[in-house]
Structure 1
Amino acid sequence: MKKENSVTRRSFLKTSAVAGAVGVIGTSSAGILTSCATGGKKDAIVPLKEPGTYYIPELPDLAADGKELKAGVVGCGGRGSGAAMNFLNAANGVTIVALGDVFEDRVNGLADRLKKDKNIDIPADKRFVGLDAYKQVIDSGIDVLIDCTPPFFRAEHFKYAVEKGKHSFLEKPICVDAAGYRTLVAAAKQAQAKKLSVVTGTQRHHERKYVEGYKQVMNGLIGEITGGAVYWNQSMLWYRDRQPQWNDFEFMVRDWVNWKWLSGDHIVEQHVHNIDVFTWFSGLKPVKAVGFGSRHRRVTGDQYDNFSVDFTMENGIHLHSMCRQIDGCANNVSEFIQGTKGSWTSNGHVIKDLQGNVLWQYDSEAEKAEFKQIDPYTLEHVNLINSIRKNTPIEQASETAVSNMGAIMGRESAYTGQEVTWDAMTAAQLDYTPADMNIGKMNMSGFTVPVPGSGK
């Protein structure tokens, strides 16, 4: 099996063709950079972190062979079905033995796909339906939980999985409120103590171009990080029209991505990816957020259409966060990080010096020539399975909890119009659980669009 670090820097580092702009001498983490833009002066690159002090995943095409692993899927909709296939494509000797969802048609739909695409039979007594289906799946003899429910449910599911000693793949986000955050963090500590592996759905951590960019930033190529901007601006996401036969609960759960108690709003559900890149690269948590947002064209639910947040990080630098889901507007899904010597951006996965000269660029064509598997959604399962089989547990929930809480801070600042701090939010009594949550009729009067400055 080829080790990730055997992917040569020659394959992944593209030096600029700009005449005299840059030279990279050596391939060690403390390589020497010579730039004519600084008058030919040679500046030693000072690493932000020394190699070996930060985590770099192994990303081969396929996980190493080893003991058979049995997984159970909770949340059998589109993402759950996709994650099931990603898990099965990530290694030999893995299978899925149990399914759970609040809706029977979702369970049967994934069971049919598993039979058709992978010749895996899920017997009737391993198909579980209802709000407690996750417990039945976890108790059915699985090794790995694949949890892809609406985000609201994940913290409690993870807590139970850890109590039962199961490894976990948790789709992001992993919580939607302060109560869920505390549940999640406590469970993550228990997972570490039990040496369980936990991978979250922040797939950029398993995307080779992001990983290689991260290594270059850690190597010191852009200098000390001084700030950044992250974006997820796209057209309107999907929604479900309410059907006559659906009760209140079924309507909201089938339309979950538009309801703040279920999804956390799109700054948490989707934009957490981009916020996470900055917290990952910088190693910093946000200590303060001031934001605003609004609702203009959303069709269902009680969420906003857009957010803009100014985060103050714990060392005083600022991150600007922007996300929008509105048709007919300028789109941008990317991250930008500024340093004292240059900048990194995921637009082209390129590093430039302060004069705009290209110092490094990821070579996607070289990756395609070197590897067969380039899908990060599959590679995150490769990493999970390898960590289990090699008995080198990884626990990513704690790291994802930082970016997840940052997104919650930005959302709550926009909803209220107030400045929100890390300390206040992590200790807050904020709990999005509906007072009368059940699989049936619910009091819909409480699901209203927030009005900043109203005190509500």
Structure 2
Amino acid sequence: MSKHSRRDFINKTVLAGGFALAAGAISCRKQKQTFDLPLTAPDGPVLKAGLVGCGSRGTGAALNFLDAGPSLELVALGDVFDDKLQKCRANIKKERGIEIDSEKCFVGFDAFEKVIDAGVDIVLLATPPFFRPEHFEAAVKAGKHIFMEKPVAVDPSGIRSILINGMRAKEMGLSVVTGTIKRHQVDYLATYEKVSQGAIGEIVAGNCYYNQGKLWHVNPRAEWSEMEAMIRNWVNWCWLSGDHIVEQHIHNLDLMNWFIGTHPLKATGFGSRQRRTTGDQYDNFSVDYVYPDNVHVHSMCRQINGCSTNVKDSIRGTHGYTNCENTIFNPQGEVRWKFPLTEDQEQDRWHFFWRAFVQEHIDLVTAIRNKQPINEAQQIAESTLTAIMGRISAYTGKVVTWDELLNSELKLGPKHFVMGDVNISKTIPVPGQ
């Protein structure tokens, strides 16, 4: 599909209402959604999965898949780097006693194609986000069911690709589940249902925060090319991760979109780079998102050591507010409802959180085996674009609207992928320039 035909397609389907946008989507906060979750996927014919991206999250996703139910197999691995693949392979063997056949272990930029063609039913996509659109498109074209980690792109071009191929997957009856764990976490689902039934009245505002210390970085080695050094340090380069507002804070922004029932219409943000020592990203953002009906959400994220940490969400309505996770309050701050916990669950505040990583795969396998496809491509694309909108507003110092960003030709990253120099700008953005 040419650039122009792709753009025409988006204009005709996305902006004209092919996807749930603006006022049409806000009604979904009135819809009831059950939160009864299966504790394991049903048995059935063996489902074989292949993993693309063998880092720590990819390895975790593979283990989560294997834990989702009976008759599930991991049969193929792919990564750009052999040492990453072998570490993942060893961990899978150690943790689950599974030896991945060396003939189905693939290394290089084309490893994703070989995994997809390795006789698998499901592809697990967990590379740095830049590569997600291309890998997703290939998996859909091959007719595979898909689990893909968040976020799913770093720029508007990638988002359009996800939206288009998400629709193709739906037409083909494929199931697509994404790594927005809160949508698969039972206490969040129960709270969402209460809010959708009017427990806090009409939503009027929201706040979401992901303030913590720095993540990690990898210093370049003399024997590495610039491409290898960047990919190994991917979480610090905007073209690979989207910046931390996209790579990490998307969890909170996705939650806001989910509870409010739509995406924002525009964003005004600012941020800066205070102490980051590698890459080209900022280490703090503050963004005002404006949703339909003039609902404002204040988003804040920071990755700086030695500062106050704060990871939480809040949505306020005309008759109360909620932390979105497990509690609803009246306007005076008194608890009106709280998700019921067993004594063991009370002692383990991370019980539902860790369970949700497996639940994503339970939901995927259940959908496949029950022949009731689920498709989360649109919602994760919209949440990723929400985060990208905040990043671009902060980088430029400009108000950024949803429609202009959805139609933007911005595409990050190099055009060619070889282990050599990376011919892209490494300039740190300066607002107003």
- What are the within-5 Å matches in structure 2 for residues 354-433 of structure 1? 354-365=331-342, 368=345, 375-433=355-413
**Partner residue, 2:169:** 191
Q: Distance in 1 between matches of 2:406 and 2:269?
A: 18
Pair 1:59 & 2:2 matched: no
Pair 1:449 & 2:428 matched: yes
Gaps of 5+ in 1: 1-46
The C-alpha deviation readout for 1:337-388, integer Å capped at 9, x for no partner, is 0001000114x7211111222111123336849x998611111111111111
Going by fraction, where is helix more abundant, 1 or 2? 2
SS at match of 1:395: coil
**Partner residue, 2:303:** 325
Q: In 2 relative to 1, CA 58–359 (structure 1 residues): closer, same or farther, beyond 3 Å?
A: closer
Whether contact under 8 Å (1:231, 1:333) holds in the other structure is: yes
The C-alpha deviation readout for 1:270-293, integer Å capped at 9, x for no partner, is 000000001001112111011000
Q: In 2 relative to 1, CA 244–427 (structure 1 residues): closer, same or farther, beyond 3 Å?
A: same
TM-score, structure 2 normalization: 0.90
**Partner residue, 1:207:** 185
For residue 244 of structure 1, report the CA deviation from its aligned partner.
Answer: 1.6
**Partner residue, 2:58:** 80
Whether contact under 8 Å (2:48, 2:74) holds in the other structure is: yes
Whether contact under 8 Å (2:266, 2:400) holds in the other structure is: yes
Q: Distance in 2 between matches of 1:160 and 1:333?
A: 35
Whether contact under 8 Å (1:48, 1:223) holds in the other structure is: no
**Partner residue, 2:285:** 307
Whether contact under 8 Å (2:43, 2:70) holds in the other structure is: yes
Whether contact under 8 Å (1:57, 1:383) holds in the other structure is: no
**Partner residue, 1:345:** 323
- What are the within-5 Å matches in structure 2 for residues 139-178 of structure 1? 139-178=117-156
Q: Distance in 2 between matches of 1:224 and 1:101?
A: 47
Q: Distance in 1 between matches of 2:342 and 2:167?
A: 40
For residue 169 of structure 1, report the CA deviation from its aligned partner.
Answer: 0.4
Gaps of 5+ in 2: 1-27
Whether contact under 8 Å (2:35, 2:190) holds in the other structure is: no
Q: Distance in 2 between matches of 1:212 and 1:189?
A: 28
Q: Distance in 2 between matches of 1:96 and 1:421?
A: 42
Q: Distance in 2 between matches of 1:287 and 1:437?
A: 35
Q: Distance in 2 between matches of 1:50 and 1:60?
A: 21
SS at match of 2:93: helix
Q: Distance in 1 between matches of 2:102 and 2:414?
A: 31
SS at match of 2:252: helix
Residue 256 of structure 1 aligns with an amino acid whose one-letter code is W
Whether contact under 8 Å (1:48, 1:224) holds in the other structure is: no
Q: Distance in 2 between matches of 1:189 and 1:245?
A: 43
For residue 314 of structure 1, report the CA deviation from its aligned partner.
Answer: 2.5
For residue 436 of structure 1, report the CA deviation from its aligned partner.
Answer: 4.5
Q: Distance in 2 between matches of 1:430 and 1:420?
A: 13
**Partner residue, 2:157:** 179
For residue 437 of structure 1, report the CA deviation from its aligned partner.
Answer: 3.7
SS at match of 2:265: strand
Q: Distance in 2 between matches of 1:254 and 1:364?
A: 41
- What are the within-5 Å matches in structure 2 for residues 88-107 of structure 1? 88-107=66-85
Q: Distance in 2 between matches of 1:343 and 1:214?
A: 12
**Partner residue, 2:276:** 298
- How many aligned residue pairs are there? 403
**Partner residue, 1:49:** 30
For residue 48 of structure 1, report the CA deviation from its aligned partner.
Answer: 5.0
SS at match of 1:99: strand
Pair 1:110 & 2:88 matched: yes
Q: In 2 relative to 1, CA 297–93 (structure 1 residues): closer, same or farther, beyond 3 Å?
A: same
For residue 315 of structure 1, report the CA deviation from its aligned partner.
Answer: 2.7
**Partner residue, 1:8:** none
**Partner residue, 1:13:** none
Identity of aligned residues (%): 48
Whether contact under 8 Å (2:212, 2:309) holds in the other structure is: yes
Residue 334 of structure 2 aligns with an amino acid whose one-letter code is N
Q: Distance in 1 between matches of 2:382 and 2:344?
A: 30
Q: Distance in 2 between matches of 1:388 and 1:281?
A: 26
Over aligned residues, Cα RMSD in angstroms? 1.9
Residue 397 of structure 1 aligns with an amino acid whose one-letter code is A
Q: Distance in 2 between matches of 1:302 and 1:432?
A: 13
Q: Distance in 2 between matches of 1:151 and 1:166?
A: 19
